[in-house]
Amino acid sequence: MIIVGGSSSRDLAKDLSNALGCRYIQAATTRFPDGECYTRIDIESLNDDVVIVQNTYPDSNLIEMFLLQDAVKKMGAERVTLVIPYFGYARQDRVFKPGEPESAKVMIKHLGMMCDRVFTVDIHKESVLDYFDCPHEDLKAAPVIADHFMPKNIDLVLSPDLGAKDRARAVGERMGIPYDYLDKVRLSGSDVRISPAQMDCKGKNILIVDDMISTGGTIVAAKQALMEAGAKSVSVACTHGLFVNNALERLTGNALESVLCCNTLENQVSHISVAGIISDALKKKW
Ligand code: R5P
């Protein structure tokens, strides 16, 4: 097996090759003066199972992924596995208003033209993966999030909404502590309303878990509701830290330690590694 790291996921791709004891090649990706993507895999041949590790977000990384798929095929890759740590466009998983595209399906149909197997991590809507004709699996980060927080004296795990309650359950069960969810209503792209917490939060150290933090609106509202309900401390963990428009700074001030995410997107607080989960999956028989 040979791991090819795209520019979104260099550290994770290297960690995977170390965990699997296999060869690692970093794609040499640059931009033409007009912004178009140029990439090259500098190797004589790739006559082996090839794994490309690359996000499909932002759009520039999606284009790089398409080019890498073609390059590895041309270099002789026998079977191509895509590891897409953060799958962009998964939230537009259906037509919400007439005239919209089904963005997740569009991306999958194009990615699916040149691959034999796909792994994602905590994709927003798992069911969209069924648009791939090849074997696919969404891997769950809950165990590594739970293990990270195990020694940290957490009393209660909460998801910010009903949609993420299974994640809170998975983390809470592994930590052996109670879990629940909050009620969230989205008011706009960046504003949400979270109802006052129903559960007893007084004096508790609470961990909020979510699949992603984008603008941070959800976490700000959830933290506020929990502090008003008397929580002693609120820690935050998500799988994908997008942190758009300086959301990380707004959420933490200088206290970066109160927000953590996995290394599906590499940033200042992506200290929870999903390399073990992905390498275990890559070892499985096809
Ligand atoms: C929503 O369904 C997701 O699970 C996240 O809660 C949401 O995308 C977070 O977005 P933001 O940080 O912009 O509130």
What is the pLDDT, as a whole number, of residue 256?
56
* The pairing of beta strand 28-31 with beta strand 37-40: antiparallel
* 217 Cβ closer than 6 Å to some ligand 1 atom: yes
Is the pTM higher than 0.85? The answer reads yes
Q: Which has the closest alpha carbon to 47: 2, 113, 112? A: 2
- State the average pLDDT for the chain: 94
What is the pLDDT, as a whole number, of residue 255?
59
* 164 Cβ closer than 6 Å to some ligand 1 atom: yes
CA 242, 88, 143: angle at the middle one, nearest 5?
A: 65
Rounded average pLDDT over 88-112: 96
**18/2 Cα distance (integer angstroms):** 11
What is the pLDDT, as a whole number, of residue 257?
63
| Ligand 1 pocket test target in 87, 188, 210 with most atoms within 8 Å of CB | 210
Q: Tokens 């929580």, residue?
A: 231
**198/144 Cα distance (integer angstroms):** 28
Q: pLDDT tens, 193-229?
A: 888 777 899 999 999 999 999 999 999 999 989 999 9
Distant-in-sequence, close-in-space partners of 210: CB < 8 Å, separation ≥ 6: 159, 160, 164, 167, 218, 219, 236, 237, 238, 239
pLDDT at 34 over 90: yes
What is the pLDDT, as a whole number, of residue 272?
97
pLDDT at 163 over 70: yes
Locate the ligand 1 atom nearest the alpha carbon of residue 218 and give its number.
Answer: 14
* 160 Cβ closer than 6 Å to some ligand 1 atom: yes
Domains and CATH numbers, the chain: 2-140+274-282 (3.40.50.2020), 142-261 (3.40.50.2020)
Cα 266 to ligand 1 centre (Å) = 18
What is the pLDDT, as a whole number, of residue 89?
95
